[in-house]
């Protein structure tokens, strides 16, 4: 429903502004992943989005400013993935579906590594406040995995299984990037899925 305080002739401008802001966030998200947060300037984002730096500054005043929105974008994407997977009632199957999403991202992982993990380490070097926000993405992932193991094991304190699985996933991503071997991801993920099925 449209905001009643916005006149009809202004509505298309507002929608256009929202679309442009979304494009800038997606461009920044891609550039941060490709180059690293510390190596991306606002002018780089503007150029890649087809805007001038002055036009870009109408939406975001600095890379730090846009990074907050990039972190939120990652959070929304991750939540959407979890919501989709949560449609399945079996926690083992949910973990298996999550691991399938790792395989689906093989090309990205080999080319540039995990976008969320990389962003965390990039911003940690540049800005502690941003680092704590980026860390929430990784904690969110770990807590979702923990919830699945709690259901599987039927206990609140289920040892270190969530940390073991999360660590294995991150290790696989790093090894795949180092070796450039897509089979490594598939083979290792399939072993993790067998481990989960055996519980």
Cα Rg of the chain (Å, integer): 20
With a cut of 90, say whether residue 162 has pLDDT above it: yes
d(CA 124, CA 122): 5
Lowest mean pLDDT among 6-20, 70-84, 145-159, 163-177: 6-20
pLDDT digits (tens, 9 = 90+) for 37-83: 999 999 999 999 999 999 999 999 999 999 999 999 999 999 999 99
Write down all domains in the chain, each with its CATH number in brackets.
8-197 (1.10.357.10)
Structure token digits, residue 173:
């991503």
Q: Which pLDDT belongs to residue 17?
A: 85
Going 34 to 37 to 38 to 41, the CA torsion angle's sign is positive
With a cut of 70, say whether residue 10 has pLDDT above it: no
Mean pLDDT (the chain) is 90
Q: Which pLDDT belongs to residue 16?
A: 60
Helix (H) / strand (E) element for 55: namely helix 53-56
DSSP codes, 142-161? HHHHHHHHHHHHT-S--TTH
d(CA 22, CA 28): 10
């Amino acid at each position: 429903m449209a905001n009643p305080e916005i006149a009809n002739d202004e509505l298309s401008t507002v929608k256009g502004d929202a679309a442009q802001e979304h494009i800038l966030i997606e461009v920044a998200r891609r550039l941060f992943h490709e180059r690293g947060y510390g190596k991306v300037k606002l002018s780089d984002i503007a150029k890649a989005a087809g805007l001038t730096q002055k036009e870009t500054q109408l939406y975001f005043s600095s890379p730090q400013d846009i990074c907050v929105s990039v972190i939120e974008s990652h959070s929304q994407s991750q939540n959407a993935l979890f919501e989709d997977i949560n449609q399945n009632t079996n926690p083992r199957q949910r973990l298996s579906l999550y691991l399938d999403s790792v395989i689906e991202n093989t090309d990205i992982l080999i080319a540039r590594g995990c976008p969320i993990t990389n962003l965390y380490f990039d911003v940690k070097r540049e800005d502690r406040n941003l680092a704590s926000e980026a860390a929430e993405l990784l904690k969110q992932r770990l807590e979702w995995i923990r919830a699945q193991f709690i259901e599987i094991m039927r206990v609140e304190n289920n040892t270190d299984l969530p940390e073991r699985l999360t660590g294995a996933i991150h290790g696989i991503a790093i090894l795949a990037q180092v070796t450039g071997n897509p089979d490594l991801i598939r083979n290792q993920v399939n072993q993790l899925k067998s481990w989960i099925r055996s519980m």
